[in-house]
Amino acid sequence: MREVAVIGAGMTKFGELWNMSLRDLFVESALGAMESAGVDTLDSIYIGNMSAGQFVGQEHLGPLMADSLGMAGVPATRVESACASGGMAIRSAFLEVASGASDFVLAAGVEKMNDGADVTGVLATASDQEEEVYYGVTFPGLYAMIARAHMEKYGTTEEDLSWVSVKAHKNGAKNPHAQFRRVMSLEDVMTSSMVAEPLRLLHCSPVTDGGAAVLLCPLDRAKEFTDKPVKILGSGAATSTLALADRADPSHLDAVELSGQRAYEMAGLKPEDIDVAEVHDCFSIAEICCYEALGFVEQGKGKDAAREGITDLGGAIPVNISGGLKSKGHPVGATGVAQAVTIVEQLRGEAGELQVEGARIGLAQNMGGSGASSTVHIFQGV
């Protein structure tokens, strides 16, 4: 396999983007990635998208997006793995370049969630229809069950969950792409409306429109297009049971652990080698569980990480410096690619106020459903 690098990255602002269509979001982010590398041709395109068919009534995204980008004729494929669609698009692009089949491959993610669809119903399609949705469970409900399981097993409290949200908003307030650029206090979080006990409104990621893209090419050609290429050291993916109740331990994200192990093995690295990470904090409990599954802290110790500053900017392992899904926003198909964009900016030293000093190795973890699918990518600045 060939070594692969990211040579360009682009991203829209995240939020309720009423004046932009699905194709507008894709084109803006894709052009940003291509223009930053000075590349005007592509060999292939992958588009991470969870559910444009239900959100905006549009399927068959490959030809639509290729044509909208002025690239009609280029093979373009939509990739779906619920909220992990963006990460899976990056993995598909990585493998195509690594195999030698193509040299310039765009991995993009896009979602338009605010155009009037029943968002709760659309997102519920990522859970088990027969075993979960039929009985009325929603994603806040599923993650509330994960939180309860973690509380019962490890003594996690609502305040522990809330410190994750406080950190997210502190970072997101400094991110120009973020949907919610305002600081939230511990009291703000703990007095917000209850959604699914013990999860409150400010423990939950928002409904978001947005797009993000990265451009990949062989590492041995990367310096032709940028002075700051970022190498993809490892890529891992895994699945678990779709239904939460079918897992041996609902408080443990086994697909995240397995995808992380596979990425670490490919990269020849360990959790302690990671300088900065973006993980899938669709709910505050998810971030806590990801700390543990990725080996940043011991199992059961994730509840202490945000409160003690371990995962803060300047901490032992800074996590979700972008503000994460909680503050930056969560346009489901675009989220995994946006995480990669953040890591690329960090490893290039281009993160401004949010820069992690001396960051050389970064990790992006993206998952779908209640943790039924997960991707992990490890990057290195070169």
Q: In what helix (H) or strand (E) does residue 88 lie, and over which residues does it extend?
A: helix 85-99
Q: What is the pLDDT of residue 85?
A: 98
* Catalytic positions, written as ranges: 83, 330
- Which residue from 372, 277, 334 is spatially nearest to 46, judged by alpha carbons? 334
Burial class (CB in 10 A: 0-12, 13-18, 19+), 239: middle
Token couple for 119: 């968002």
pLDDT digits (tens, 9 = 90+) for 168-197: 999 999 999 999 999 999 999 999 999 999
- C-alpha triplet 327, 20, 211: angle, nearest 5°: 50
pLDDT band at 368 (very low <50, low <70, confident <90, very high): very high
Q: What is the DSSP string of 58-75?
A: ---HHHHHHHHTT-TTS-
Q: What is the pLDDT of residue 200?
A: 98
- C-alpha triplet 53, 58, 61: angle, nearest 5°: 105
Q: What is the pLDDT of residue 238?
A: 98
Phi, psi angles (nearest 5°) of residue 165: -70, -40
Q: What is the DSSP string of 290-356?
A: HHHHTTSS-TT-HHHHTTTTTTSTTSSS-B-TT-HHHHH---TTTHHHHHHHHHHHHHHT--GGGPP
pLDDT digits (tens, 9 = 90+) for 102-125: 999 999 999 999 998 999 999 999
Q: Is the pTM of this model over 0.85?
A: yes
Residue 166 three-state SS: helix
